[in-house]
Structure 1
Amino acid sequence: MIEKMSFVTLAGPKTEIDYLVDHYLSKHDIHLENALSELSSAEQFTTFTEENPFKAMLTKSRELMLLVKNPEKATISKINVNKAQKFIDKIDEQIDDIRTEVTNLEKQMDALNQDYAVLAPFKTLNYSLKGIYDMEFFKYRFGKIPRSEFDKFESYLDPDMDEIFLTCLVESEYVYGVFFAPIDKFNEVAKDFRNIHFDEIPIPKQYKGFPNDECLNIAKNKAELDEKIKFKNAEISTVVETNRDKLVSACRRIEIAFSNFDVRKLAAVTRDSGVTFQVLCGWMTTKEAKKLLKETDDDPNVVCIVSDDVDDHKSIPPTKLKNNRFIRPFELFVKMYGLPAYNEIDPTLFLTITYAFIFGIMFGDLGQGLCLLIGGLIVYKTKKMDLAGIICAAGVFSCIFGALFGSFFGFEFESFISPLNSMITLPFLGSINIVLVAAFLFGSFVIISTMIINIANAIKQKNLGKALFGPNAVTGLVFYVSIIAVIILYMTGKPLPGTILAVIMFGVPLILIFLEEPLKNLVSKKQPLIEDSKGIFAATAFFELFDYLITYLSNALSFLRIGVFAISHAAMMQVVMTLAGAENGGSANIVVVIIGNIIVMAMEGLVVGIQVLRLEYYEMFGRFYEGSGREFVPYRKKYKK
C-alpha cells in the first residue's frame, strides 16, 4: 500500500534554522521540497546566500575517513561541531608531516620507476654507460625502431657509411638498441636513422655502469623506498586506529553539520522585514506529521502547519510503500518497472500473488520447489536480498503445484492432474490438454482483474473518462467479458444464447471504444471534442480499435505459455528419468537424477522467472499501471548516506 501523505510547512526566525534542523528534521522523515517553488507569494521571499562553512572541513574529514579501517565497527559517541572540528584538525596535524614524507618518498619511487623503464630495454648491452659517454671518436644514440621498419632498415642506410647498430631487445612492436658512428659521419647516419622512424631514448647521465647492474641497483633502491613508505604508512595507521572511535564520530558529525547547513538551499527567507523568517516545507506521512505537530506545539521558535489536502500544493506527493514482510521483497520488481504515483494503486500485492502463482504452475515440482524455498529462505535471512525472498515465495507455490502434478524431483506419484496426460474434449477444438485450457481461462481472469484495477485507479484519480471509455475501461471490460461468455456458451453447447449475447454486447462497447477520444473530452468538458479533422480521427480510431482487438487476442494467447511451460517442465523431467533408467518402474541412477535436476533447475528456473516477469510487465502492468511516481527520500536518510 501507499502511505498517506501530508504537506508540512515549518517556519521560524532565520537564525534558528540550525535549531530546527537538529531538533526536528533530523528526527523525523520529511521529503523536503524547494520552499520558493511551493509558496504562493514567492516574490516576498528569497534564498539563503551563505556559503557552507563546513565545506573545507568536510573534505578533510573524508580524506581521513579513507584511512580508517572498518569504520562501520567504530563506536559512535556524541560530539558537538566545534569539538569535532578541533579533533579532526589535531589528527590531521599529527599525520601531516608523515604524509609529506610519504609524498616525497613516492616521488623518489616514481623517478626510479621512470629510470628503470628507460634502462630496462638495454640490460643486455655488454658495455658500461660511462665507457660509451667517454668515447672520443664516436657518437651514439639510444632508442627504438618500429618492428615493421627494422627488418628492412639496412636498405635505407648508406652501405659506404660507417655505423654500428647493437640490438638489445626485440618486442612485438619495437626493437630497442644503440647505434654508433664516427663523429664526422654522425649527422648523416642520424638522418638515415630518422628516416626509418628511430625514436631516441635519453639515458640519465647519473647512471654510469653496465645497464643490467644499474637496473639491479635501481630495484634495490626501490625495495628500500618501499619499506620506508610502508613504515610511514604504518605510523599514519597507528595514529588513525588509536583514535578511530572518536575520529569516526567527529567525521560523521561534520557530515551531519554540512548536510544540515545545506538545508538552506531548499529554504525560503523573507525580504525587507524587521525580523527575518525562514520557511521549510515538504511531505511527511500523515502519522509522522501529527507527531511533529504535537512536538512543536509548545516551541516558540517554530511554527508548524500541516495540510492534508494534497491537491492544494504545486508539487506531487512522493510515494512511500508500506507492505508487510511477506510482500515487501516483491517491491523490487515494482521499482524496476517504476514506483506507483501517489494517486495510483500499489500493485505489489497483485504482483506478489500472480508472480508466485504463475511461477508455481510453470515450475511445478515438489522437490525442486523445496530447494527454492529452503535456499531462498536461508539467503533472505542471512543476506536480506529481496530476490531471495521472491525465490522463496515462488518455491512455496512450486511445492503446491508439484504436489498437484504428482512430481518429486521427477519421480511421479498419484496426482490430481498430469500436465502431460490430462486431456479434455471441447466442441470445435476436439481433444486438448486441460492445462492449456486452464492457462487460457486463468489468463482471461487476470486480464479482467487488471481492467477492474485500471477502473479503480481512474476513480481514485477522479478521471471519469478514463474509467468509462477505453480498451481497459468499463467499455473494454464489458466487451472482453462478453467475448469470454460467448466462448463458454458455444463450448458448452449453447450457441443461441451465445449468438444473442454477441449481437447485443459486441457492438455497443466497440462503438464506445471507437469514440474514446471525443467521449473522454466530453466528460472532462474539453473543447474541441475532436482535435483533428473527422477523417483523420475516423482513420486513427479505426486502426487503434483494430490494434486493441489484436491485443485482446494476443494477450489471451500469451498466457498459454503458462501451460506450455508446465508441460515442457514435466517433459524435461521425464527425459531425465528416462536417462536415469527409471522408466517402467526401473531402478534410477541417482547421479543422473541429481545432475539432471540441477540442469533443469538452473536452466528452466531462470527462463521461467524471466517469462513470468515478462507477463507481469507487458500483459498486466501495461493495462492499469503507469509507474510514474517519485520515491519518498527523507532528509535524514540523505545525510546518513
Structure 2
Amino acid sequence: MITKMKKLTFLVYHKEYETFLDQIRELGVVHIVEKQWGEMDDTLQQFMQKRALYKSMLQSMYNLAEKQPEETVNTELAIDALVKSYEDLQERIQDLNQQLPVVGKDIAQMEVWGNFDWTSVRRLEDAGWYVQFYTCPERDYDETWAEQYNTIIVKENGGHLYFVTVTPEPVGLDIEPLRLPSLSLSELNSKKAEMEEALLQTTAELKAFCKAHYRTFESGNEQLQGDIDLLKVKLNSEEMAEGAVVLLEGWIPEDQEADVKKLLDDSGVYYEIRKATKEDNAPIKLKNNAFVRMYEVLTKMYGMPDYAEFDPTPILAPFFSLFFAFCMGDAGYGLVLIIFGFILKKKLSKSLRGMMNLVITLGIFTAIFGAILGTFFGVSLFDVELPEGMKQFMIVGKIGETTYDKQMLLALIIGVIHISIAMTVKAIGETVRYGFKESLSAWGWLLLVVGFICTGGLSFFEVISKDVSTWAFIVIGGIAAIGIYLLNNIHRNVFVNIGAGVWDTYNMATGLMGDILSYIRLYALGLAGGMLGGVFNQLAFMVNDAAGPALGWLFCGLILLFGHSLNIAMSCLSAFVHPLRLTFVEYFKNSGYDGKGEAYKPFTVVKKQIN
C-alpha cells in the first residue's frame, strides 16, 4: 500500500536557516520538493562531477580489493589526496602496459639479428667502416652485393634474407636500410623483465592501497553526497521579503507527523501542514508486509505508482511467484533454490540478503507447484509408485477424451483471472481518481468480460441451465453496452461515444485475446524445462549402462550434475523474464497502471552501507 503523505511549508528566518536545515536533516523524514529556480550553480556542478568520479572509482577499488576491503576509516586523510595517489598508480600501470608491447616488438625485431653489442658497431664507424642492416625477399637478393658491399647474410626466415653491409661509406641499394632499436637483445630482454616486475609490484601496491583506503574513500563519498543534498535543498529554497525569510516545501509520511511537529514547535519556525490530495504530486513510500516487501524491487523496476494510484505490489507478489513456479515447473529445482538461497544468505552482504529471501520464497513456491505439476528433477512423479492420495492432487495428462493438456488449460485460467483482476483494479482506480460517472466504460468492460466468463463457466459445468445462461448473457451484454457505447464519456455527444465505443471494442477484441494467449508461455516454459530435465536423465543412464559399473556411475553423476545445473540456470532466467513481461505488459496495461510516481527520498544524513 501507499503511505499517506502530508505537505509541509516552512518559513524560516534567514539567519536560522542553516541550523534549521541541520535539524531536519538529522530527523531524516522530510522529502524536499525540488524546484527549478535557475541553472545549477558552479559548486553543485563540481560536486556532481566529483560524485560521478567517486562512484566509478569506488566500484573499481572494491573489485581491486577483491571485495574484501579493510573496515578501518582514516579521517585524517584528505579524499583529494587519495584520489591523486590512486590515479598516479593507475597511470603508472597504464604506462607500463603501453610500453611493454613496444619493447616486445623491439625484441621480436632484434631476435633475427641475435645478441650483438652496439658498442662494437660504433667503434667500426669511428674507424671508417659503416654497418647497415637490410632485409629483402630471397628472390630479390643480388649475389654481386657480396663483392661490392661486403654483405654478410645473418639469417634466412620465411623466404626473406636478413643481411648487413660493411663499407667505407654508406651504400645506395634500392632498398631502405632498417632502423633497429638502440639497445641490444639482452638489454631489451632485461628491460622487459624489469617492466614486468614493476607492473606486478605496482598492481600489488594498487590492490593494497584499495584494501587499506576503500572505507576511507567511501566515507568521503558519503560526506560529498551529504553536501550535494544540502546544496540541492538550498537551491530549492525561495528567498522572500528581500531575503529576510526563506520558503521551503516538503513532504512527510503521516505517521511521522508528531515527531516533525515537535521539532518545528521547538525551533520556533512558522509552518503549515496539510493532507496530500489526489492532484498533488506527492512522493511515494510503499508500506507492505514482509512477504510483499520482497517484491517491491519489481515494482520499482517498472516505476513507482502515482499518489492517486494503487500500489500494484500486493497483487504482483503472489502472481509473480505463481508464474515463476509454473515456468520452473519442477519440485526438485525448487528445493535447489531453497538450499542455494540459505547458503548465500549467510555469505552475502546485508544489502543482498533480502534478495536471498526472495530466492527462498520463489523456491518454496516452485517446490509446491512443481509437485502439483508432477515433476521432480525431470522425473514424472505421476509415473512412479506414490500413494494415490498424492497423485489426485497432481495436474497432469489430457482433459477427458480431448487432446488438450490440463496444464495448458490451467495456464489460460490463470491468465483470465489475472487479467480480470487487472480490469477490476482499473475500474476501481478510475472511480477513486475521477468518480463513478467518469469510469462507466471501465465498469462496462469489466462487467462484460467477467460476467460472460462466469456465466459461461457456470453453464459449462451445468450449474445453470442454457435458458438462464442465455438471458444472463443478454442482460449482462445490454447493461455493459450502455457503459461502453453510450456513457463512456458523459461530456461528449452520444454519437461520438458510440464511435469511441466501437474503437474500444476493436482494441479489446484484438488485444484481450492476445493477452490471454500470452499466458500459454507459462505452460510452454514449464513443459520445456521438464522435457530437457528428462532428456538429461535418459542420457545419463544410457551412458551408465554403456560404460559399465566402474565408470558408469561416475559419468552418470557428472552428466546429471552438469545437465540439471544448466537446466536450472536457463529455467531461472526464463522464469524471471517471462513472468516479468506478463506483469509489465499484460497486467499493467489492463489495469491502467502508469508507474510515473516519484519515490520518497527524505533529506537525511547519508549512512554508510557495508558491502
* Secondary structure of 2:295 counterpart: helix
Q: Which residue of 2 aligns with 1:215?
A: 188
| TM-aligned CA deviation for residue 476 of structure 1 | 0.8
Match of 1:270 in 2: 239
Q: Aligned partners of 2:5, 2:329: CA distance in 1, in Å?
A: 42
CA-to-aligned-CA distance 1:116-139 (integer Å, 9 cap, x gap): 457422244244323444533547
Residue 122 (str. 1) matches residue 110 (str. 2): yes
Instruction: Please give the alpha-carbon distance, in whole angstroms, between the structure 1 residues aligned to 2:165 and 2:399.
Output: 93
- Partner SS, residue 341 of structure 1: coil
C-alpha contact 2:44 2:228 (8 A) present in aligned 1: no
In structure 2, C-alpha distance between the alignment counterparts of 1:457 and 1:100, rounded to whole Å: 54
Out of 135, 154, 157, which is 2:140 matched to?
154
SS in 1 for 2:250: strand
Secondary structure in 1 matching 2:290: coil
Q: AA paired with 2:451?
A: S
2:596 to 628, 634, 638: 628
Q: Distance in 1 between matches of 2:90 and 2:457?
A: 83
Q: Contact between 1:405 and 1:416, CA under 8 Å: does it hold in 2?
A: no
Q: CA distance change for structure 1 residues 276 and 497 in 2, over 3 Å: closer, same or farther?
A: same
2:520 is the alignment partner of 1:557? no
**Offset of 1:356 from its aligned partner?**
2.0
Task: Give the residue type in structure 1 aligned to 2:302.
Answer: Y
Match of 1:375 among 321, 327, 340: 340
Structure 1 residues 216, 259: closer, same or farther in 2, change over 3 A?
same
**TM-score, length of structure 2 as denominator length:** 0.72
| Alpha carbons of structure 1 residues 632 and 477: separation in structure 2 relative to 1, 3 Å | same
- When structure 1 is superposed on structure 2, of 176-185 and 392-401 the one drifting more is 176-185
Alignment check: 8 A CA contact 2:137 2:161 kept: no
Deviation digits for residues 545-574 of structure 1 (CA, Å, limit 9, x no counterpart): 223113232333333454566666776777
What do you get for the CA RMSD once the two structures are aligned?
5.5
List alignment gaps of at least 5 residues for structure 1.
38-45, 78-83, 583-588
Pick one of 389, 396, 399 that aligns with 2:357: 389
Shift of 1:160: 12
Which residue is 1:14 aligned to? 14
Does structure 1 residue 423 correspond to structure 2 residue 423?
no
Q: Secondary structure at the match of 1:283?
A: strand
The aligned amino acid for 2:267 is D
- Give the Å deviation of 1:350: 0.7
Q: SS in structure 2 opposite 1:8?
A: strand
Change in CA separation of 1:331 and 1:221 when aligned onto 2, cut-off 3 Å: closer
Match of 1:309 in 2: 276
Alignment partner, residue 32 of structure 1: 32
Q: Does 1:445 align with 2:434?
A: no
The size of the alignment, in residue pairs, is: 569
CA distance in 2, matches of 1:237, 1:130: 43
Q: TM-score if structure 1 supplies the norm length?
A: 0.69
SS in structure 2 at match of 1:298: helix
Distance 1:512 1:237, change over 3 A: closer
Counterparts of 1:344-383 in structure 2, within 5 Å, are 344-361=309-326, 363=328, 365-380=330-345, 382-383=347-348
Match of 1:614 in 2: 581
**In 2, distance between residues paired with 1:486 and 1:162?**
110
Q: 2:293 aligns with which of 322, 328, 331?
A: 328
Q: 1:496 aligns with which of 467, 474, 479?
A: 467
- Matched residue, 1:457: 429
CA distance in structure 2 between the aligned counterparts of 1:515 and 1:378, rounded to whole angstroms = 60
Describe the SS at the equivalent of 1:419.
coil
Alpha carbons of 1:515 and 1:116: their partners in 2 closer, same or farther (altered >3 Å)? same
Aligned amino acid, residue 236 of structure 2:
A
User: How much has 1:479 moved relative to structure 2?
Assistant: 1.2
Contact kept, 8 Å, 1:270 with 1:277, in 2: the verdict is: yes
Equivalent in 508, 513, 535 of residue 548 of structure 1? 508
Which SS does the other structure have where 1:628 is aligned? coil
Pair 1:109–1:456, CA change in 2 (3 A): closer
By how many angstroms is 1:343 displaced?
A: 1.9
Contact 2:24/2:30 (<8 A) preserved: no
Aligned to 2:253: 285
Give the Cα–Cα distance (whole angstroms) in 2 for the partners of residues 499 and 103 of structure 1. 79
**TM-aligned CA deviation for residue 453 of structure 1:** 0.9
What CA distance in whole angstroms lies between the structure 2 residues aligned with 1:49 and 1:152?
71
For the 8 Å contact 1:47–1:264, the answer to whether it is kept is: no
Structure 1 residues 539 and 90: CA distance shift in structure 2, 3 A: closer
Aligned-pair CA distance for 1:295: 1.2
Preserved contact between residue 443 and residue 483 of structure 2 (Cα < 8 Å): no
* Letter aligned with residue 611 of structure 1: H
Q: Distance in 2 between matches of 1:561 and 1:228?
A: 55
1:40 is aligned to none
Q: Which moved more, 1:382-391 or 1:451-460?
A: 382-391
Report the 3-state secondary structure (helix = DSSP H, G, I; strand = E; otherwise coil) of the residue aligned with 2:12: strand
Aligned pairs for 1:150-299 (under 5 A) are 151=137, 154=140, 186=171, 189=174, 192-193=175-176, 201=179, 203-204=181-182, 207=183, 211-219=184-192, 222=195, 251=220, 255=224, 258-259=227-228, 261-263=230-232, 265-270=234-239, 273=242, 276-299=244-267
Would you say the 8 A contact 1:268–1:280 is kept in 2?
yes
Q: Percent identity?
A: 17
